[in-house]
Each structure stands twice: as structure tokens, then as C-alpha cells.
Amino acid sequence: MRVALDGVTKAFGTNRVLDAVTFEAEFDHTLALIGPSGGGKSTLLRLLAGLDIPDSGSLFVNGAELPQDEGALRRYRRRAGIVFQAYNLFPHLSALENVLLPLTRVHQLSRPAALERADGVLRRFQLEEHAFKQPALLSGGQRQRVAIARALATDPDFLLLDEPTSALDPEMTAEVLDVIVELKESGTPIILVTHEMGFARRSADLVAFVSHGGIQECAPAAEFFSTPRSAETKRFLEKILKY
């Protein structure tokens, strides 16, 4: 997968979250975005998802420039699987109905075809016994697995994951990270915002450090963690890996 930014700026009020960012990366499976809170990671992911548009500059995914008109953006978003840290499941719907909804409403599959696909992804993530439970009856790890299953059910070209383990305890975090490793092994390209440094070190092809409105450094995972090039990256890693 290839992603590129050319002079991308995104501000919210007077706060320039991304400031004229130019960047390019190509990777086989996983690009991990790490950095301090408020550094621009989630904003970058939302731009790549087509959920926000830049104030200036252009983004490219696999050589194609992301459109900026709403109709074309809706078509683009259908190609991406997006998973948020807060699950974004509909609380009044069962796990199965949460997975079915984008298949029938957005991708216009017939109910039988959507059921077949939804049943398949729920089985894949060992969720079939929870299919008729509403999110409130599921654990945090199960809810996040449902969110990932929903994203995968649409057969996306790639997955965008925004801090998918941030609200989970250690056991549930491991559960969700195992699912992400499985996705990597199946060949689905992933761009992942994460604070799980051990996971990024072991499982990402590339790691990018996002801070102060820009991408300060990007390198293969082993190189990134063993020999960071910028002083800011080094300070960040020393701080978060201290304990």
C-alpha cells in the first residue's frame, strides 16, 4: 500500500493540527502511527479515511488523489474499513445487526447475501454465540471485535484503526491485538494509530512519529525503535519505554 501527502494542512480554529505535511510511505501490511496526544495522529487517519478534508494540500492512496466533493468521498469511503477507539456500535442493535447495517444500507447487498457475509465474519472472530446480543452485553474486547468484523464485512481495500485498544484492560487488549495480527497475516493492509509500542515494534512494517503538526520520522519498525534519527523521537521513546 502507498500513501502520500503533499503540503497537507488541517486546522481546527487557530490550532494547526497538521501543518503543510509532505510525506510518502509504501508498505506491505502495516503502518503504525505513534506520537504524543494531540500531535495529529487521529486527524491524519480521518483525512486518509475521507471523513475530513484538508484545508490545503492533497492526499494520495495507492496513487489516486483523494477527492474533496462529498459524492466522490462517499464512494471512496466504501473502499475503506474504519474502526474507532470507542467502537461506534449502535447500542440498540445486536452485534449481527451492527454488521449487517453497512452491508444493506451502504453497499446495497440483499438481506440473504448480507447475512451470509455477516455470519462469516462473526464466525471468523469467534463471535457467533454473541450475534444476537446488544453491545451493552458484550465485553470491551468483544465490542471491538464486532467493530472490526463490521469493517471487514464490507471487503475493504484497507483498514484504518484509531487506537483500537485504548479503552481496554490488558487481557482485552491482547485479544484485539491478536485479531489485528491475524488481519496482517491475511494480507489486509492496515494503518493503525496506537500507543502499544511493543505491538508496533513487533508487528508493523513501518512506524511513523507524528508530532507538532508533522511526521517527524518514519522508518522500518526495528530501525525506528533501535536507532531513532530525530532528538524528539528519541526523547519520546525514552519517556514511554522507561518503565
- What pLDDT score was predicted for residue 85? 77
Q: Distance between CA atoms of 6 and 187, rounded to whole angstroms?
A: 27
How is residue 207 written as a grid cell?
512506524
pLDDT tens column, 133-179: 999 999 988 998 999 999 999 999 999 999 988 878 888 888 888 88
Q: How far apart are CA 3 and CA 192, in angstroms?
A: 13
Task: Provide the sign of the torsion angle of the four alpha carbons 178, 240, 168, 154, taken in this order.
Answer: negative
- pLDDT tens-digit readout, 119-132: 999 998 889 999 99
Q: Is the pLDDT of residue 57 over 80?
A: yes
Confidence of residue 2 (pLDDT cuts 50, 70, 90): very high
Using alpha carbons only, what angle is made at residue 199 by residues 165 and 118, rounded to the nearest 5 degrees?
50
pLDDT tier for residue 181 given thresholds of 50, 70 and 90 = confident
CB atoms within 10 A of CB 60: 15
What angle is formed at CA 122 by the lines to CA 187 and CA 199, rounded to 5 degrees? 45
Grid coordinates standing for 80?
475503506
> Average per-residue pLDDT in the chain?
93
Q: Which three cell numbers stand for residue 61?
A: 492512496
Domain range list for the chain? 27-51+71-240
HSE of 173 in the Cβ direction (CA atoms, 13 Å)?
13
Select from 3.40.50.11540, 3.40.50.300, 3.30.160.340, 2.40.10.120 the CATH code of 27-51+71-240: 3.40.50.300
Relative to beta strand 56-61, strand 2-12 is antiparallel
45, three cell numbers: 487517519
Helix (H) / strand (E) containing 111: helix 111-124
